[in-house]
Amino acid sequence: MKKALLALGFLLIFTTVFAYDWQTDGFTVISEVTIDERIHQTLKDTAGREFSVIYQDELTGAVVGRIKEYRNIFYRWQSIKIENMTFAVVEDTMDIVLIPSSVMVEGTNMAEFMPAGMSFFYDGQSLQYDFRMAINLVFVRIRGIYISESELIYKLGRAFENPEAYIRRNDPDYYHAKLDELENETQTLRRDIFNLKLSVATLQNRGLFGRVHPIDKDVAERIVLIKRRNMDWTVSQIKEQLRKDNIKFGRRDVELIIGVFFNEF
């Protein structure tokens, strides 16, 4: 029992020594809870403004200095007024969530279009923002490296003015979606062209009495693949490769596929 109490005493002393003392910077800890091994603190400055800090390892002086720096930046904003801010620290990086009471852009309060607030993050090098606005059922992604309040306000204004145009100019997700759509259309077109050429080759594959002998699609695909990998191969070489691969093919299949698909007769 004595050993256990002694160990607990050392633990308390260790924690007290290395815990950051917010009071030295004029902040008061209002509440503190631990959830899933992460400490959640609510603090208040001398002006009565509250903010939250979430962390697991003990805060370093450098991290605290950056929190203070960003608090000052956010509170100096003229057009954006912050109601609540939370700093979630992971080692030397942090996620920041700002809940604005007002975001005045060209006479309009944009705060109502930000249901999840404004998300910022520090990656160890720069302060960046990445959040969405819901404008007339259109979700617009606002992202970039933070430069100044005026730059951010300008970007919000352009997004509000014409959401669709802003997305086309600035959101990489839009281009990724368009590229995927174009790729799908291209694959469909290639498949249609292949089937059309196969139909042309099949119509020419007639027997002595005019009977059409269908060319197996898998065989046709294999012939095309072999030819594309070996553009200088002759019909005889392609047939030899098909036999090595144990692929059965019709008497005129190779000649017709090579003729229609590669214009070699």
Taking CA atoms, 173 is separated from 63, 118, 176, 178, 228, in Å, by 32, 19, 5, 9, 34
Q: How many angstroms separate the CA atoms of 237 and 233, rounded?
A: 6
* pLDDT score at 10: 42
| pTM exceeds 0.75 for this model | no
Q: Which residues contact 91 (CB under 8 A, 6 or more apart)?
A: 57
pLDDT tens-digit readout, 213-234: 888 999 999 999 999 999 999 9
Q: How many angstroms separate the CA atoms of 128 and 138, rounded?
A: 23
* pLDDT score at 11: 44
* pLDDT score at 19: 60
* pLDDT score at 199: 85
* pLDDT score at 198: 85
pLDDT tens-digit readout, 41-93: 999 999 999 999 999 888 888 899 999 999 999 999 999 999 999 999 998 89
Residues of the chain with pLDDT below 50 are 1-18
Taking CA atoms, 73 is separated from 67, 68, 119, 128, 263, in Å, by 10, 9, 15, 13, 68
Q: How many angstroms separate the CA atoms of 9 and 92, rounded?
A: 30
Q: How many angstroms separate the CA atoms of 32 and 55, rounded?
A: 11
Q: How many angstroms separate the CA atoms of 264 and 216, rounded?
A: 20
* pLDDT score at 47: 92
